[in-house]
């Protein structure tokens, strides 16, 4: 299984040596040359051993965030599903950083459908986590696309890169999200969709990739889940006001990928790909 995105990666030979060292230390018989590689993460790639998953930071900038996020996962309380807790020590080789974690069972749910009761159960489990023991480990709200500067980055940097026909509607969605009142903030996952949620027997059995978890508007998680499982399920996942805000998060989501590429100084071709994907996806999401 290989998922390719075009994100830059560290030296392949160094990664292979490091992954082999980490798997050996964890007692996992798999090796980098024959293991499955998952390249869909924007900040890290993952090599899947038999019992161990090795997360590898894509660049030195991503390494401290990878380590912070893993400390967060290791500090999470008991949840009604598994999380990828550490199974060994952090390893560094030739400037490349890797973390061995438990490989979780289950498989991603197919898009376009889902059990609203189970999805609501998942949201409640995450949104009722006590943030107090996690202080200093959670990410900044909306860190993926600017953190405290998210509005400026989306409105002033990302929107102007869109085709002229989309700019006004995209800016309006960003403005409406910024103006939305959030009655209660909660711990949120930040990217609760697709391959990050693992299922077995109709139940959620694992949740991966807690890098963006923060205390923020729970509507962002509603947007991720409903965007993957089918937007018609959104009213069954939260109250109407939260669903309305979730629609705004869903609308601006393609822009956040553009913002990420700009903030990380990604190559021009990567920024161009993000803009092209946003231009394809925005028309069906932007409020009329």
Average pLDDT over residues 231-243: 97
Percentages (nearest 5) of helix, strand, coil residues in the chain: 50, 15, 35
Are residues 76 and 161 both part of a single domain? no
Separation of alpha carbons 45 and 3, rounded Å: 10
Sign of CA dihedral 42, 237, 120, 107: negative
Are residues 95 and 20 both part of a single domain? yes
Long-range contacts of 180-183 (CB under 8 A, 24+ apart): 180/217, 180/244, 180/245, 180/248, 182/216, 182/217, 182/219, 182/245, 183/241
Indicate whether 3 pLDDT > 50: no
Question: 5: pLDDT confidence band, cut at 50, 70 and 90?
Answer: very low
pLDDT digits (tens, 9 = 90+) for 81-119: 999 999 999 999 988 999 999 999 999 999 999 999 999
Are residues 127 and 92 both part of a single domain? no
Residue that is last in its domain, among 52, 82, 104: 104
Split into its structural domains, the chain has a count of: 2
Average pLDDT over residues 140-149: 96
Predicted local distance difference test score (pLDDT) of residue 1: 37
* Containing structural domain, residue 62: 2-104
pLDDT digits (tens, 9 = 90+) for 39-86: 876 678 899 999 999 999 988 888 999 999 999 999 999 999 999 999
Q: What is the CATH number of the domain that holds 240?
A: 3.90.1200.10
Q: What is the CATH number of the domain that holds 18?
A: 3.30.200.20
Question: 9: pLDDT confidence band, cut at 50, 70 and 90?
Answer: confident
pLDDT digits (tens, 9 = 90+) for 253-282: 999 999 999 998 889 999 999 999 999 999
């Amino acid at each position: 299984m290989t998922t390719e995105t075009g994100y830059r990666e560290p030296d392949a030979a160094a990664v292979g040596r490091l992954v082999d060292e980490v798997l050996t230390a964890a007692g996992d018989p798999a090796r980098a040359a024959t293991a499955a590689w998952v390249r869909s993460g924007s900040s890290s790639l993952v090599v899947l051993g038999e019992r161990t998953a090795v997360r590898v930071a894509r660049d030195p900038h991503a390494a401290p965030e990878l380590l912070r996020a893993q400390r967060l996962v290791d500090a999470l309380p008991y949840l009604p599903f598994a999380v990828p807790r550490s199974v060994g020590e952090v390893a560094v080789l030739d400037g490349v950083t890797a973390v061995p974690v438990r490989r979780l069972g289950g498989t991603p749910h197919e898009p376009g459908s889902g059990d609203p009761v189970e999805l609501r159960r998942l949201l409640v489990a995450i949104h009722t986590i006590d943030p107090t023991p996690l202080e200093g480990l959670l990410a900044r709200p909306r860190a993926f696309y600017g953190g405290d500067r998210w509005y400026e980055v989306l409105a002033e940097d990302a929107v102007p890169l869109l085709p002229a026909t989309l700019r006004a509607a995209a800016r309006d969605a960003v403005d409406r999200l910024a103006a939305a009142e959030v009655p209660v903030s909660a711990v949120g996952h930040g990217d609760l969709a697709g391959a990050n949620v693992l299922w077995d027997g109709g139940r959620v059995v694992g949740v991966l990739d807690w890098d963006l978890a923060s205390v923020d508007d729970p509507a962002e998680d509603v947007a991720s889940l409903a965007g993957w499982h089918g937007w018609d399920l959104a009213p069954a996942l939260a109250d109407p006001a939260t669903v309305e805000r979730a629609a705004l998060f869903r609308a601006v989501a393609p822009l956040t990928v553009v913002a990420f590429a700009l903030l990380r100084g990604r190559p021009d071709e990567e920024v161009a790909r993000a803009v092209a994907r946003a231009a394809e996806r925005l028309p069906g999401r932007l409020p009329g």
